[in-house]
Amino acid sequence: MNIEREQEVVHQFHYDARNLEWEKEEGTPQTNLNVQFQLAENMEKVTDEDTAINTVLTFMIVLENLVISGYVSQMNYIRGRIVKARNELTQENMEELAAPLFEILKRLTYEVTEVALDEPGVTLEF
């Protein structure tokens, strides 16, 4: 796939220390990662032979003492291919589109936890 990408956008990124007392009454948060692919229309950078797809990653990652949550996105232009529905993308295509979002999440998590915990940051593995 020939992909032209815009810069990733961090819409929200939250670092929260876990409150185990609160969790006893309210329940333990669960790790959840969700990738959405939104076809975009009427984009200036898209010709009749291209497709614009906004890739969005929402996440909540529960670790031993903290929770990381938020969402990031990136506009992608697939050059020379028309995609009319998400189901036309293979698993490999979706992984290729989402890869930069997972990389920015890894970097943000490492950097923020390094500063917040004053020790080497937390390395996420996907």
For residue range 84-103, list pLDDT tens digits in order.
888 899 999 999 999 999 99
- Whether residue 88 is contained in a domain is answered as yes
Contact 111, 10 (CB under 8 A): no
Helix (H) or strand (E) holding 102: helix 91-117
On whether the pTM is more than 0.85, the answer is yes
Terminal-to-terminal C-alpha distance of the chain: 22
Q: Are 30 and 62 in contact (CB under 8 A)?
A: yes
In a domain, 123, yes or no: no
Burial 7-24 (b: 16+ CB within 10 A, else e): ebeeeebebeeeeeeeee
- The count of domains in the chain is 1
Q: Is 125 domain-assigned?
A: no
Q: Write the pLDDT tens digit of every residue in 11-26.
A: 999 999 999 999 999 9
The enclosing domain of 102 has a CATH number of: 3.10.420.10
Q: Which domain holds residue 52?
A: 2-117
Whether residue 101 lies inside any domain: the answer is yes
Residue that has been written with the tokens 């990136």 in this structure: 74
Residue 124 included in any domain = no
